[in-house]
Amino acid sequence: MRSKRIVCALSIMLLGGQQALAQPQTGIDFSHFDHSVRLQDDMFSAVNGQWLKTTAIPPDKAGYGTFIELRDRSEERSRALIESAAANPAAGTDNAKIGALYHSYMDEALLEKRGLEPLAPSLARIRAIATQADLASYLGAAQIEGENLALNVNIDQDPGDSTHYLPNLAQGGLGMPDRDYYLDGDARFKSIRAAYRLYLARLLTLAGESAAEPRADAVAALETRIAAAQWSRAANRDPRKTYNPLTRDELASRFPGIDWGRYLQGARLNAATRFTIAQPDYVANLSTLLATVPLDVWRDYLTLRRLDRAAPLLTHAFCDAHFAFHQTALNGTQSQVARWKRGVAIVNAAMGEAVGKLYVARYFPAADKERMQKLVSRLLEAYRDSIAQLDWMTEQTKVQAQAKLARYSIKIGYPDKWRDYSALEIKAGDLYGNVERAARFDYLYRLARLNGPVDREEWDMTPQTVNAYYNAQRNEIVFPAAILQPPFFNRDADDAVNYGAIGSVIGHEISHGFDDEGSQFDGQGNLHDWWNDVDRARFKALTQRMVAQYAAYQPLPGKTINGELTLGENIADNAGLQIAYKAYQRSLEGTPAPRLANLSGEQRFFIGFAQLWRYKVRDAALLQMLVRDPHSPARYRVNGAVVNSDAFYSAFDLKPGDKLYRPSEERIRLW
């Protein structure tokens, strides 16, 4: 969700009077501006350019910017809460479990002493696989422990009936980030493939296995065949194509190469009678691989998947090997994250809401929630007005769109009902066992949902997470407490900057209900086409223009943005910005905004939006983003959105010849 730039007049004013501008009055950090760049030519660089020039990415990070700054702050706060909980460990309480889990990670001497011992039972189970039936049993049972394998189970709402849960079977099991890393002929991917083979061999060597290199090559070749059968990330964005409900008998008849009885028994899905397959032809190809690839290769594959997942929980040698590939080779990161930060991540992953409950009590005042609720209400009002005024949508479909918007559920800060961790067993000094039991606890929690009603109070993020989301099947927008801080939400900043920042974030999440994916779900969260054919065709034409716009951006030599993969987020970025601007105008109630720092309210709005997305990233990490991230890189989230905003043109008096100028007929206006 980004914006772009400003005008020459503003650049001149800032150059002449920066020392007189009072940052606390506006919430704008003028010290980050690059005054050599015209706002009308490159909004992102004009607002953030000095910061980009003078800020080094920390050696332990793949990128750095506003999101990372807030995440660092959230980590520091979480650490203090975790250490405080550990100091007050009443037996059996969440505090005791939090403390024991954290200390089990921080006790490096014990981890070195135990070596590979914690994995011995798991590796023995893999070595014992002697038949195809054994293989199917293991693939199913490993789901309970959170293993990412070639066929994965997720239990979530049924897209066709949002009042029930349904097991979803989907592709997975790659050790590299995406199928492109296995299949793309680009020299950068070839280099990473070579590093991956060395990493796999290193894991086998550390585990005391012989013939490490040829076995690693065989596993890499198997993963390449798996990758070749998988759907692209862009294809997986189509909710209709990935919704393929089948009965248990239909599973067996369509995919006979998989022993479904053993697989489902291993995954504890014996009682399930209905499933959905996300990628049917992939599962058909996988069933062939399971039946034809030698079992010793499958055993090595499973061993390496287990070692790769466990490596950060083992000795320094395993941790270093994992870091060298997953961080340095894939992201360009130069040094390991501080151990306490990794410990905090372990605790948040296993007991996130227990930490979140402590976080909210200390760091999230009721006044922030109340102010946020008002902002969300204003954004929803602006969205209602926008739908009513659309010139490309017929009245019949507008009625349905308004009905869906009226059913939005809004969650701010933290859940009303906290997760119960009483059944989670955490043992002192047993890091690997703790992480494995936490994964099992989470899987069984989700499995139990098959027998009950949909829990619409559930959250998919913890309060200490710096992010936000829209869930189409619950038709809800969710804003965790940790994102409601400067520069996203600044209680001391003027409204213009807050609307440009957190307002555009709110608008972004609202807009996901009407992007190319979310618009296929109705107000109850069901996959249901509530559009008429004329409107859907018009919408498709507009979105294809947006695909083309972003596909023309080239963040790295030879690598453009995938316009299809990023379409949903680009729609939300553009719509969120425009809806936030309309909400800001509504808030003025016809009274012009005061000028602050010699800027109009409209100008401060767009600057607030642009500085929100301040970010720089290493090339290796940017390559990974372009392959797998549904968001466009920061520069193009800003510049890609403002070029379609009429208000941006009037705020900064853009003229033909300005690099961000587009004729009115070329601007894409969706919501």
Q: How far from the centroid of its chain's Cα atoms is residue 363's Cα?
A: 24
Q: Which residues contact 508 (CB under 8 A, 6 or more apart)?
A: 1, 468, 572, 573, 575, 576
3-state helix/strand/coil string of 132-145: HHHHHHHHHHHHHH
Helix, strand, or coil (residue 266): helix
Average pLDDT over residues 334-358: 98
Check residue 26 and give its pLDDT. Answer: 85
* Model pLDDT for residues 268-304, shown as the tens digit of each residue: 999 999 999 999 999 999 999 999 999 999 999 999 9
Given a contact cutoff of 8 angstroms between Cβ atoms, the answer to whether 46 and 39 are in contact is yes
Q: How far is CA 394 from CA 387, 399, 524, 534, 536, in A?
A: 10, 9, 22, 8, 10
Largest Cα–Cα separation, the chain: 77
pLDDT of residue 14 exceeding 80, the answer is no
Would you say how long the chain is, in residues? 671
Q: How is residue 463 written in tokens?
A: 């309060």
Is the Cβ–Cβ distance between 429 and 104 less than 8 Å?
yes
Interatomic CA distance for residues 486 and 425, integer angstroms: 37
Q: Is the pTM of this model over 0.75?
A: yes
pLDDT > 60? residue 20: no
CATH of 119-315, one of 1.20.210.10, 2.30.42.10, 3.40.50.1980, 1.10.1380.10: 1.10.1380.10
- Taking 70 as the threshold, does the pLDDT of residue 6 lie above it? no
Q: State both tokens at 140.
A: 């199913």
Q: 575, 671 in Cβ contact below 8 A?
A: yes
Question: What per-residue confidence (pLDDT) applies to 17?
Answer: 30
**pLDDT tens profile 619-662:** 999 999 999 999 999 999 999 999 999 999 999 999 999 999 99
Can you give the three-state secondary structure of 434-472, one letter per residue?
HHHHHHHHHHHHHHHHHHCCCCCCCCCCCCCCCCCEEEC
CA–CA distances in Å: residue 36 to residues 48, 152, 635, 659: 12, 51, 17, 14
How far apart CA 267 and CA 371 sit, in angstroms, is 45
**159: pLDDT strictly greater than 70:** yes
Q: Is the peptide bond before 487 cis (omega within 30 degrees of 0)?
A: yes
Question: Strands 151-158, 161-171: parallel, antiparallel or unpaired by DSSP?
Answer: antiparallel
CB 100 within 8 A of CB 369: no
pLDDT tens-place string over residues 65-95: 999 999 999 999 999 999 999 998 887 799 9
Are 262 and 137 within 8 A, CB to CB?
yes
CB 602 within 8 A of CB 593: yes
7 has a pLDDT exceeding 60: no
Residue keyed to tokens 């001497």: 109
What's the pLDDT score for residue 10?
A: 24
Instruction: Say yes or no to pLDDT of 229 above 60.
Output: yes
- Peptide bond connecting 663 to the previous residue in cis, omega within 30 degrees of 0: no
Identical fold between 8-18+27-45+364-415+459-666 and 119-315: no
Residue 416: band (very low, low, confident or very high) from pLDDT cuts 50, 70, 90: very high
Residue 19: per-residue pLDDT: 32
Edge-to-edge, what's the strand order for the sheet holding 476-480? 409-413, 476-480, 469-471
Angle ∠(321,71,180) on CA atoms, nearest 5: 50
Helix (H) / strand (E) containing 275: strand 274-277
Query: 433, exposed or middle or buried, with CB in 10 Å at 0-12, 13-18, 19+?
Result: middle
pLDDT of 516 higher than 50? yes
Q: Nearest CA to 220 among 297, 151, 287?
A: 297
Mean pLDDT of the chain: 94
Q: Of 237, 481, 271, 469, whose CA–CA distance to 361 is shortest?
A: 481
Query: How far is 2 from 577, CA to CA, in rounded Å?
Result: 8
Q: What are phi and psi of 93, to 5 degrees?
A: -85, 165
Confidence class for position 23, pLDDT limits 50, 70, 90: very low
Domain layout of the chain by residue ranges: 8-18+27-45+364-415+459-666, 119-315
Q: Which residue is it, tokens 């403390």?
A: 99
Distance CA 167, CA 638 (A): 38
Phi-psi category of 525—alpha, beta or left, where left has phi over 0 and alpha has psi -120 to 50? left
- CB-based contact 29:23 (threshold 8 Å): yes
User: What are the tens digits of pLDDT across the range 519-538?
Assistant: 999 999 999 999 999 999 99
CA–CA distance, 12 with 23 (Å, rounded to integer): 18
- The answer to whether the CB of 45 falls within 8 A of the CB of 610 is no
Which pLDDT value is given to residue 3?
A: 33
Any idea which architecture 8-18+27-45+364-415+459-666 has in CATH?
A: 3-Layer(aba) Sandwich (3.40)
Q: Is the pLDDT of residue 478 over 60?
A: yes
Would you state the torsion angle of the CA atoms of residues 19, 21, 27, 28, taken in this order, to the nearest 10 degrees? -60
Predicted confidence (pLDDT) per residue in 114-126, tens digit:
999 999 999 999 9
Backbone angles phi, psi at 489, to 5 degrees: -140, 115
Structure tokens at 627: 């392959």
Beta-bridge mates of residue 477: 410, 470
- Identify each DSSP E strand in 438-591 by its residue range: 469-471, 476-480
Check: CB of residue 283 under 8 Å from CB of residue 160. Answer: no
Separation of first and last alpha carbons in the chain: 14
- Characterize 240-272 residue by residue with b for buried, 16 or more Cβ atoms within 10 angstroms of its Cβ, and e for exposed: eebbbebeeeebeeebebbbbbbbbebbbbeeb
CA–CA gap between residue 441 and residue 461 (Å, rounded):
17
Burial of 168-195, coded b for 16+ CB within 10 Å and e otherwise, reads: bbbbbbbbbbbbbbbebeeebbeebbeb
Q: Which of 453, 456, 452, 451 is nearest to 471 (CA)?
A: 456
Cα of 543 vs its chain's centroid, Å: 22
Q: Given this model, what pLDDT does residue 1 score?
A: 35
Question: Which phi and psi (to 5°) does residue 533 adopt?
Answer: -65, -35
